Chains A and B, each alone.
Chain A
């Protein structure tokens, strides 16, 4: 199994630009999670999907952030426009949960390190 795949691994962009982060969950997993990790706030759950449907997006910081899951094997997290305070490591994780409840173990991707100048 290839595990959770994220791309790009590193992204450097300028303030105001659009940033798109990508995630491919583990095959067969039907729950997908986006996290952000910063020194100040630690690890925060931004949004999670179950069967491609967003279940809880209460962690999304503001309207500049949006996430989609068009199919079971792909998800994107988009920031538009990006700001320096968005600089962080963004993790995607997936699990085999069969309902809208988070119950199964989450397996994390390698993360995308984002730097907004």
Chain B
């Protein structure tokens, strides 16, 4: 089974600035998927972005982009032009016949 590590329990960013959340994973599979989910105080799990391991191009969704380094098994999330509504817990996940989540990073956005 895969493992996912988020080494930053908490991060803080100034509104309108850019922040990068780190994630590393370990899997023996060659075909897998990586995700970032956002969990605001409402507890709802919201999909932020998805990356297929076989794709070299980094996924992008508006202000959210990833830096996928397959050889290093790294999958960081960059949030540009941070907004107050981005404040939440962010979970990295690896999926292949199983779904493993990291412990999460709590992002605070300062006005």
Contact = CB atoms under 8 A, between A and B. Distances in A.
Contact of B43 (A42, A89, A107): A89
Q: Looking at chain A's contact residues, is the secondary structure mostly helix, strand, loop, or mixed?
A: strand
Interface string B30-55: 00010101000011111100100000
A57 interface: no
A45 B46 CA distance: 17
A110 B35 CA distance: 18
B98 A42 contact: no
A108 B97 CA distance: 18
Interface size class of A (residues with CB under 8 A): 10 to 19
Contact of A111 (B43, B96, B98): B43
Given A42-B103, A43-B91, A102 B97 contact: yes
27 contacts: A42-B101, A42-B102, A42-B103, A42-B104, A43-B91, A43-B101, A45-B99, A45-B100, A91-B45, A93-B45, A101-B96, A102-B95, A102-B96, A102-B98, A103-B33, A105-B35, A105-B47, A106-B47, A108-B37, A108-B44, A108-B45, A108-B46, A110-B42, A110-B43, A110-B44, A111-B45, A113-B43
Interface of B: 33, 35, 37, 42-47, 50, 91, 95-104
